[in-house]
Amino acid sequence: MTVTTEPAIVRGESTSPLVTAEEFPPLTHFIDGAFVGGAGESSSSGATSDASAAPTTIADRVEENADLLIRLESLNTGKPRVVSEDDISMSADVFRFAAGAGRAFTEMGSGDYVEGHTSVILREPVGVVGVVVPWNYPLLIAAWKIGPVLAAGNTLVLKPSEQTPLSTLKFVELIADLLPAGVLNIVTGLGPSVGARLSSHPDIDLIALTGSVPSGQAVATAAGQSLKRVHLELGGKAPVIVFDDADLQAAAEGVREAGFWNSGQECGAGTRVLVHSSAAEEFTRLLAEQVSSYVLGDPRGGDDVELGPMISEAHFERVTSFLDRAIADGARPVVGGAALEGPGFFVAPTVLADVAPGSEASQHEIFGPVVTIETFETEDEALTRANEVSYGLAASVWTKDAARSLDAPRHLDFGTVWVNSHLALAAEVPWGGFKGSGYGRDLSIYALNDFTRTKHVQINHSR
């Protein structure tokens, strides 16, 4: 079966700018409560802060300026408005959750575990947290870090991606009056220099990074020299297991959303479908219909634009080269399969069938609008092959079998496993992976755990 329908394309019918010159933030560092130039040492004003209540007030400020932040994020990344709207909405929600979670943060009660001695467990801030965030969700992932870091009473120094600093700089400009000077600092620059300095700086107590596996390895290596704690959320290659009893239409619609959200530039994207051989032809047909309906374009093209371009020329070339190699290895393009002609770094939303187990396309993160399809014969085979990738961030299972929906996720080596859904996130539940996807948890109360330390105080009251 071959589907040749191409997606509709809208390339910015309006020439009006998304953001006016007056709305841009200062394009420099933000240190000790003010925008500054130069390349001095990054620092914070103290090891801990009294700003743990600020995330409520920060959430309000984000919502009050949502339209500007949405437009700026679309300019920053090329995201369609619908994706930027989701980013900004969830950013506000994360700050609001972090404020409440910080107020409810508790430890085990005191007790006498040694005769004549009472033990009390204290939970303290770790101190100064260095944060490095990626280009795919610049403000949202910054919020994932800033919210729990501040709620736990720390100070932080954050480096946005050199490709997408605009929304983070505007955010800190908007909320600067809500925090004591020096609590939240932003340093701009390249990862190999600024990111490396944060990782090795003796005054940074913990380094938190969301990024690629090589970036995570570099950060962990540098941090190891001072034995500072490390929090890593890295890549993913999320399997989508579609059993023969699944609702195939719902699964196809789910993959349309989860495999191509943010143009596939998403570490939890459902990009690797493992479908039972008896359902493969019908599922492939349904997915092809879904993917062929996508509208691509510049974020100025209107609200019907669903997918934007790749973040950069270098990334565009990486994704298209991946496609070329996959097709040369025998994968069959059912939809898309190449770059789109015309201006911009657009890659056609692509579905590749007949992908061989163990092939590059099956094992490695493409990070673009590409979904691959493999087939399996038995449940054991599906679970084994799902686990064979080096990543362990996210996966999903599609089935109507109640027992399977409870049992199969227990055999999948991934930090999040959805059943009959994929890529549904909430501030109340943890996000993070196993294996090559790193360690540490974003979102939920577990994030506050990651950015605190426990102290045991034991009091001898023998008389």
The CATH number given to whatever domain includes residue 293 is 3.40.309.10
Same domain (yes/no): 243, 214: no
Question: What's the whole-number mean pLDDT along residues 418-438?
Answer: 97
4 located within any domain: no
Whether pLDDT at 43 is above 50 = no
Q: 214 and 322: one domain?
A: no
Residue 41 has pLDDT above 50, yes or no: no
Tell whether 121 and 218 lie within a shared domain: yes
Cα angle for residues 311, 315, 317 (degrees, 5° grid): 130
Q: What are 241-282's pLDDT values in tens digits?
A: 999 999 999 999 999 999 999 999 999 999 999 999 999 999
275 plus 387 within the same structural domain? yes
Residue 41 DSSP label: -
Alpha carbons 12 and 57: distance in angstroms, whole number: 35
CA pair distance 278, 135, nearest whole angstrom = 40
Q: Are residues 276 and 303 in the same domain?
A: yes
Per-residue pLDDT, 240:
98
The answer to whether residue 11 sits within a structural domain is no
Domain that holds residue 358: 236-426
2-11, 137-146, 316-325, 393-402: least confidently modelled range: 2-11
Q: What is the pLDDT of residue 155?
A: 97
Residues 116 and 152 in one domain: yes
Say if residue 14's pLDDT is above 70. Answer: no
Please say whether the beta carbons of 370 and 265 come within 8 A: no
Residues 166 and 300 placed together within one structural domain of the fold: no
196 and 315 share one domain: no
Whether the predicted pLDDT of 218 surpasses 50: yes
- Residue 432 falls inside a structural domain: no
48 — pLDDT class (breaks 50, 70, 90): low
What pLDDT, on a 0 to 100 scale, did the predictor assign at position 285? 97
* pLDDT tier, 6 (very low <50, low <70, confident <90, very high otherwise): low
Band (pLDDT 50/70/90 cuts) for residue 42 is very low
- Looking at 78-137, list the stretches that DSSP marks H as alpha helix, in order from N- to C-terminal side: 81-103
Per the CB < 8 A criterion, the answer to whether 237 and 366 are in contact is no
Q: What percent of the chain has pLDDT over 90?
A: 86
Q: What is the pLDDT of residue 107?
A: 77
* Any domain includes 273: yes
Residue 460, pLDDT > 80, answer yes
pLDDT value of position 191: 85
Give yes or no for residue 419 having a pLDDT over 90.
yes
Q: For position 332, what pLDDT does the model report? A: 97
Average pLDDT in the chain: 93
The pLDDT of 68-96, averaged and rounded, is: 96
Instruction: Give the active site residues.
Output: 233, 267
Task: Fill in the DSSP letter of residue 307.
Answer: B
In a domain? residue 6: no
Residue 306 belongs to a domain: yes
CATH number at residue 216: 3.40.605.10
Model pLDDT for residues 333-390, shown as the tens digit of each residue: 999 999 998 889 999 999 999 999 999 999 999 999 999 999 999 999 999 999 999 9
Residues 200 and 241 reside in one and the same domain: no
Phi and psi at 8, nearest 5°, equal -65, 150
Is 7 contained in some domain?
no
Q: What is the pLDDT of residue 245?
A: 97
Backbone dihedral angles phi then psi of residue 14, each to the nearest 5 degrees: -95, 140
pLDDT for residue 103: 86
pLDDT confidence of residue 40: 47
168 lies in the same domain as 250: no
Q: Residue 108 pLDDT more than 90?
A: no
Mean pLDDT of 199-225: 94
DSSP track, 151-219: HTTBEEEEE--TT--HHHHHHHHHHGGGS-TTSEEE--S-IIIIIHHHHH-TT--EEEEES-HHHHHHH
Kindly state whether residue 431 falls inside one of the protein's structural domains: no
- Residue 109: what pLDDT? 80
The runs of H, that is alpha helices, within 273-378 are 280-291, 313-328, 360-363
Rounded Cα–Cα distance for residues 161 and 194 (Å)? 10
Residue 71 and residue 101 share a domain: yes
Buried b (16+ CB within 10 A) or exposed e, 133-149: bbbbbbbbbbbbbbbbb
Query: Using the 8-state DSSP alphabet, how is residue 5 labeled?
Result: P
Residues 180 and 64 in one domain: yes
C-beta of residue 232 within 8 angstroms of C-beta of residue 220: yes
Please work out, in degrees rounded to the nearest 5, the angle formed at the alpha carbon of residue 305 by the alpha carbons of 345 and 312.
20
Q: Kindly list the distances between the CA atom of residue 75 and the CA atoms of 23, 79, 84, 413, 451, in Å, as whole numbers in the listed order.
A: 12, 7, 10, 37, 32
Q: What's the number of domains the chain is made of?
A: 2
